[in-house]
Amino acid sequence: MTRFVAPRPAAGRGRNTLSLGPAPKPRNPFVAAAHQRRAGGHAQGDARQRGRRELHEALAELLRHSP
């Protein structure tokens, strides 16, 4: 009866090369820019700016009412 022998990992390539899927694709800045144009701006950045605007308005309101 032969025992199952696991395939040896490739030499010098981290721990487990079998569970590593395809190589991660590098981020293409042109594709990212096209997606942002289609979406109409940066979603996260817009939300951040909106939050800051609300914060500034609230602070201005507080300063108006303070003696």
Q: Which residues of 20-31 are buried (b: 16+ CB within 10 A; e: fewer)?
A: eeeeeeeeeeee
For the stretch 12-62, pLDDT in tens is 555 555 555 566 667 777 787 777 777 666 556 666 667 778 888 888 888
Q: Could you give the 3-state DSSP secondary structure of residue 67?
A: coil
pTM flag (> 0.75): no
> In which band, very low, low, confident or very high, does the pLDDT at 1 lie, cut at 50, 70 and 90?
low
For residues 37 and 29, the answer to whether their CB atoms sit within 8 Å is no
Residues in the chain: 67
Domain residue extents for the chain: 34-65
Please say whether the beta carbons of 48 and 54 come within 8 A: no
